[in-house]
Amino acid sequence: MKGLKKSIAVCLAMALTLAAFTGCGASKTESGSATDNTQTEDGKKTFIFGDTTFNAENEEANIDPHDTYCGWACIRYGVGETLFKFNDNMELEPWVAESFENVDELTWKVVIKDGVTFSNGKAVDAAAVKACIENLVAVHERAAGDLAIDTIEADGQTLTLKTTTPKPTLMNYLCDPYGCVIDVEAGNADGIVVGTGPFVCTELVTSDHLNLVKNENYWNGEVKIDEATVLTISDGDTLALALQNGDIDAAYGMAYANYPLFENDDYVFTGTPTSRAFFCQMNYNSPVIKDDAVRKALAMGIDKEGFVETLLNGYGYVGIGAFPENFTFGGDVVKTESYDPEAAKALLEEAGWVDSDGDGIREKDGKTLTIRWISYPSRQELPLLAESAQATLKDIGFDIQLNVTADHGTIVAEKDQWDVYAAAFVTCGIGDPMYFFTTHCLDDSSKNRGGYHSDAIQELADEMNATFDASERSDIAIKMQQEILDDNAFIFCSFLRMSMIMKSNVTGLEAHPSDYYEFTADLDIE
């Protein structure tokens, strides 16, 4: 692996030197043959994947699903699988489990499939799943709150779960990447776990690389790729060069400006709309953000359409509320502020924010209208959003101080160090709207970084948690969205069209609306 990394680094350095003379464009010949480097000398099929997001910055330091958001890497790279999974319509279908029954509002029975094994050959039964879930809720605060497990009983292949409160979407929550079924008895040395998926992790270096081999004991078909490597390549231009030069076979997180380089017969795109929102969260601990007029002016001063069409080259969808339009509770079923810089100026003037010294920045009571905007670079859209917002808000009279850093988590943990936090989040990752509100909008939400509180939201959340009917849940979700939009507590700028780009000889790598499933047994290089 060290040799591979060194080889890639040398190739990229040479490519960068060459680019200085030839420019960024590449012909089909320069982009590399789709059949390069697909087999090792011993005839094994190898696959190399470049990803901008597999790093500690995104809370993916390893592949242990019981550690923060590391389950995303576990499920994406084919190490772990959940009891159920989502189809393309974000509806539940069997995976490790074959069925479930909602016995009463507190009790669920889940039947585990016969014949499922961990990659170490150990059979997966209800007792193994029980041990996995018990460990999960013991060490993972978010999962413990989501699942509200009271007791778990195991009998052969039947698992009985009782919750402390009604959990209408318990099965959905178990599809969260933290729900990957792992053999907890096998341990998690160096963040490596034993799952049921088509691949086995053999080496992991945080924010650098992950080595995988095929699971010889895979229960659900023959795995076509013998060895795979995930490389963390945080820089978008470096990622593009790696794919052009044949150093990687596929890429996730490619900069939109580089898409035209791969719009030829040597490459294939796979993409799908997702509920991954790029949004701004207000810090209610900040005196300037507590001003209702300031929050509203911020919402009116961000040109969402321009951001999507110009900076994202149309590869995205303008946001209104927390969910995109393909959900019954998403899109224009709610209303928010539209881009209106003149109205924003008038609003600020009325609130006492005026430019008294003619420098273009407004002041009030001797304090300038300064906004400390925190974000991070590993999601390529976020630096672009920051620059776009800085430009349009400056015209209104804001002084936007940008800090786009991998150390964003440390900064937002300090309540007096920021005003606006721009982030990316899959708002409907379990196919149900409560997911976003639970994580971001309640008093005890793990990602309510700005201390937002709403009596109405708290009451609606209680109502949602006791409601099993999907249509009624949709109606409540619409009300909850409208509350946070009326408060201008969040500004939803756009939604991701998730895309991966691969050599034309790569098959079986498909984008999914959940943004979860990537490496499967069907992944192949022809």
Instruction: Reply yes or no on whether the pLDDT at 21 is more than 60.
Output: no
Q: Note whether 259 and 279 are same-domain residues.
A: no
pLDDT band at 43 (very low <50, low <70, confident <90, very high): confident
Q: Note whether 183 and 96 are same-domain residues.
A: yes
Q: Specify the pLDDT at position 10.
A: 37
Q: Note whether 366 and 238 are same-domain residues.
A: no
Instruction: Reply yes or no on whether the pLDDT at 368 is more than 90.
Output: yes
Specify the number of domains making up the chain: 2
Instruction: Reply yes or no on whether the pLDDT at 240 is more than 50.
Output: yes
Strand-pair partners of 108: 102, 161
Interior/surface letters 332-356, b for 16+ CB within 10 angstroms, e for the rest: ebbebbebebebbbebbeebebebe
Q: Note whether 354 and 403 are same-domain residues.
A: yes
Between CA 113 and CA 83 the distance in angstroms is 9
Q: Note whether 129 and 161 are same-domain residues.
A: yes
Q: Specify the pLDDT at position 32.
A: 39
Q: What is the pLDDT of residues 71-121, one digit of tens each?
A: 999 999 999 999 999 999 999 999 999 999 999 999 999 999 999 999 999
Between CA 454 and CA 479 the distance in angstroms is 13
Q: Note whether 317 and 203 are same-domain residues.
A: no
Q: Specify the pLDDT at position 171.
A: 98
Give the type of residue at 205: V
Q: Note whether 250 and 306 are same-domain residues.
A: no
Residue 415 vs residues 15, 20, 73, 490, 506: alpha-carbon distances, Å: 44, 44, 30, 17, 46
* pTM, two decimal places: 0.87
Q: Note whether 170 and 281 are same-domain residues.
A: no
Element (H, E) at 510: none
Q: Note whether 355 and 208 are same-domain residues.
A: no
Residue 275 in contact with residue 428, Cβ under 8 Å?
A: yes
Cβ burial, residue 507 (10 Å; 0-12/13-18/19+): middle
Strands of 172-266, DSSP E? 199-205, 209-214, 227-232, 250-252
Q: Return the residue matching tokens 């040597």.
A: 266
Q: Is the dihedral of CA 36, 40, 42, 43 positive or negative?
A: negative
Q: Specify the pLDDT at position 2.
A: 43
Mean pLDDT of the chain: 93
The two tokens of residue 468 are 């099993």
Q: Specify the pLDDT at position 7.
A: 43
Q: Note whether 61 and 202 are same-domain residues.
A: yes
Q: Note whether 206 and 292 are same-domain residues.
A: no
pLDDT band at 42 (very low <50, low <70, confident <90, very high): confident
CATH number of the domain encompassing residue 330 = 3.10.105.10
Instruction: Reply yes or no on whether the pLDDT at 26 is more than 60.
Output: no
| DSSP code of residue 152 | E
User: 57 or 30: whose pLDDT is higher?
Assistant: 57
Q: Specify the pLDDT at position 40.
A: 61
The two tokens of residue 287 are 């005196």
Largest CA distance in the chain: 76
Torsion of CA 516, 87, 170, 99, to 10 degrees: -130
Between CA 94 and CA 97 the distance in angstroms is 6
CATH number of the domain encompassing residue 127 = 3.40.190.10
Q: Return the residue matching tokens 């060490």.
A: 139
**Residue range of the domain that includes 509:** 2-266+504-525
Between CA 352 and CA 259 the distance in angstroms is 45
Report how far Cα 154 is from the mean position of its chain's Cα atoms: 33
Instruction: Reply yes or no on whether the pLDDT at 249 is more than 90.
Output: yes
Q: What is the pLDDT of residues 176-224, one digit of tens each?
A: 999 999 999 999 999 999 999 999 999 999 999 999 999 999 999 999 9
Average pLDDT over residues 290-319: 96
337 Cβ contact partners less than 8 Å away, ≥ 6 residues apart: 296, 299, 300, 488
Share of residues in the chain with pLDDT > 90 (%):
90
Q: Specify the pLDDT at position 448.
A: 98
Between CA 18 and CA 118 the distance in angstroms is 47
User: Other C-beta atoms within 10 Å of 446: how many?
Assistant: 14
Strand, helix or coil at 185?
helix
Interior/surface letters 280-294, b for 16+ CB within 10 angstroms, e for the rest: bbbbbbbebbebebb
| Nearest by Cα to 259 from 5, 221, 267 | 267
Q: Note whether 368 and 236 are same-domain residues.
A: no
Q: Specify the pLDDT at position 493.
A: 98
